[in-house]
Structure 1
């Protein structure tokens, strides 16, 4: 396991160390509180969650724009990069990783290389390989602490004990001084009986971190323990929902999943479905979590008696996430509903 991990880390580290070169790009900028936008020819020098640094063409002036003002980025992509994107979209995760690896061998721009690495992380998440995803994620954040792809962090959002492929490595991460590693380790081991106390202590410590991403993810990870106890109240869930506004928007997938889980436990199925649906609709960074959220939203609609809408969501889960374990459960529900023919063929209104 250690040899495999070192091989992954070494390969990715070498790929990221290539000296960057410049390429002509274009950015579409909409300044805050202004109507309209401008398209600027440039060379992108760096692109993070906070800002984008460019050399404007033809003047050569270097400017930095807040990422909030960037509408769209246009940049050349290699054939391998484009092929990997298509394969990722089709759920061909292993092929996508191979294409992205080839793209890294060709691509010289550091910020684009980080984008490609992020896509490799997403492909690993799609495969359910949290270990590969975690190792690549560590390298990406070391290279770019203010990463635009922090939402790809492979955390566990279930409330039952799971056997993650990263569980062995997580035991070492749990005691690491690096907050990122500790967060991932604590997340994986938070529901493991023999490590729960240590993982909870680590998570509570991380909940006071000065890093807003780590702080908020740790705070919401602790919701898993409350849900495991099974006595969460409606008032508490309402407080969680208000606290979601403190979580950076791109990191809300997992917290919404826990919120939906809580509402489903209280049989507030309309609120559960609405919470679950935020994930595939707005925060679709982790294909496995999105598939499970889609499935659970369908379950909630079925519990509400909205059988036709539930059927459509089950069918969507099958079609949209063919490589996910949720597909099999969704297909079983599709077959059952079609066999009994109990659903209403007329459209129904989704819950508020």
Structure 2
């Protein structure tokens, strides 16, 4: 009888634990002094942008600041592993479908957010901004302090949004969170019928207490002005924005660098334009299509100042690393032009 009771107790205890189970998760923690690394095993109960909570024993639960976490290893479901593999192999539609199945099978909320972060990247690679924004908003609804906030898939090009994106943005604008309204307003700021409303919303968000929101809202307001005024900006305005971008959270600067690069291009300051645009493929490449376009544009600017060899290098990388993007064909066309010039003796 005692053995039976013990067996029942153990079974109940096991069922009460998270699905990963004690001892299956591993983290590497920076010591408080910063002088060493501390490995720990256990069961991660939660992992947000602020802290990680881990059970290291039946009665031992510890909480650590997220900034001290250097690495995390956790068991993954088969669809999760397959989605990662498909993404790495550029089978983006397969990866997207697998993230849906992976979320359905995963019980741990913090791991679900990891899968959704992967879905944001996959959707952007597919050019599906609606799916990317939906996945991102699911992440920040679950964890407003998310470590994945840098993935926020705001639009940065200066073209009007398609109708389906406008319809989705209207819903996001009615959302209760500032982040949801930021996403919606950033789409609608270039919509002919919705721009005034979007501008008013961004004006409000530009004084938010959340520095992530107010920096991005201000950049989107500038994007709206660029679109209205024909993408023109004085050197004084650009110098001001270069100062501003240095004050932004480092992980959120990519879109603003794109706007700075575009503006310097309009002023025919090719070197400054290329320098700004190259931040995207070098650092801020979660939106692969935008990063590829930025790298191709940088190649155009470098070619314009006689740096054809550097332009060839950039075009070759776009065609390889970003072969799945529209910019790859533009890079190929530019590369052919440069080679024709070289073969005819028209370039150094």
TM-score by structure 2 length? 0.86
Q: Does 1:263 align with 2:261?
A: no
Q: Equivalents in 1 of 2:176, 2:344: separation in Å?
A: 54
**Alignment of structure 1 residues 178-193 onto 2, 5 Å:** 178-193=177-192
Q: What's the counterpart of residue 217 of structure 1? A: 216
Give structure 2 stretches of 5+ with no counterpart. 1-16
Q: Equivalents in 2 of 1:134, 1:238: separation in Å?
A: 31
Q: What's the counterpart of residue 233 of structure 2? A: 232
1:87-141 deviation per Cα after TM superposition (whole angstroms, max 9, x unaligned)? 1122211100122222223322211111001111221111111112222222222
Aligned residues of 2:232 and 2:266 also touching (Cα < 8 A): no
Instruction: Report the CA distance shift for 1:274/1:61 in structure 2 as closer, same or farther (over 3 A).
Output: farther
Q: Equivalents in 2 of 1:175, 1:69: separation in Å?
A: 36
Q: What's the counterpart of residue 48 of structure 1? A: 48
What's the offset of the Cα at 1:78? 2.5
Q: Does 1:37 align with 2:37?
A: yes
What's the offset of the Cα at 1:79? 2.8
Instruction: Report the CA distance shift for 1:33/1:178 in structure 2 as closer, same or farther (over 3 A).
Output: same
Q: Equivalents in 1 of 2:173, 2:80: separation in Å?
A: 35
Q: Equivalents in 1 of 2:284, 2:98: separation in Å?
A: 25
List, as ranges, runs of 4+ consecutive aligned residues in structure 1 with deviation greater than 4 Å: none
Q: What's the counterpart of residue 245 of structure 1? A: 246
Aligned residues of 2:166 and 2:191 also touching (Cα < 8 A): no
Aligned residues of 1:22 and 1:45 also touching (Cα < 8 A): no
**Alignment of structure 1 residues 22-171 onto 2, 5 Å:** 22-23=20-21, 24-31=24-31, 33-56=33-56, 58=57, 61-163=60-162, 165-171=164-170
1:159-212 deviation per Cα after TM superposition (whole angstroms, max 9, x unaligned)? 232426412222343355542332122111212233222221111111112222
What's the offset of the Cα at 1:44? 1.6
Q: Equivalents in 1 of 2:61, 2:221: separation in Å?
A: 43
How many positions carry a matched residue from both structures?
326
Q: Equivalents in 1 of 2:172, 2:26: separation in Å?
A: 40
What's the offset of the Cα at 1:322? 2.1
Q: Equivalents in 2 of 1:33, 1:220: separation in Å?
A: 37
Instruction: Report the CA distance shift for 1:177/1:137 in structure 2 as closer, same or farther (over 3 A).
Output: same
Equivalent residue of 2:278, what SS?
helix
What's the offset of the Cα at 1:317? 0.8
Give structure 1 stretches of 5+ with no counterpart. 1-18
Higher relative contact order (CA 8 A, sep 6+): 1
Instruction: Report the CA distance shift for 1:21/1:220 in structure 2 as closer, same or farther (over 3 A).
Output: same
TM-score by structure 1 length? 0.85
Aligned residues of 1:124 and 1:130 also touching (Cα < 8 A): yes
Most deviating of 127-136 and 332-341 = 332-341
Q: What's the counterpart of residue 314 of structure 1? A: 315
Which protein has the larger Cα radius of gyration, Structure 1 or Structure 2? 2
CA RMSD of aligned residues (A): 2.4
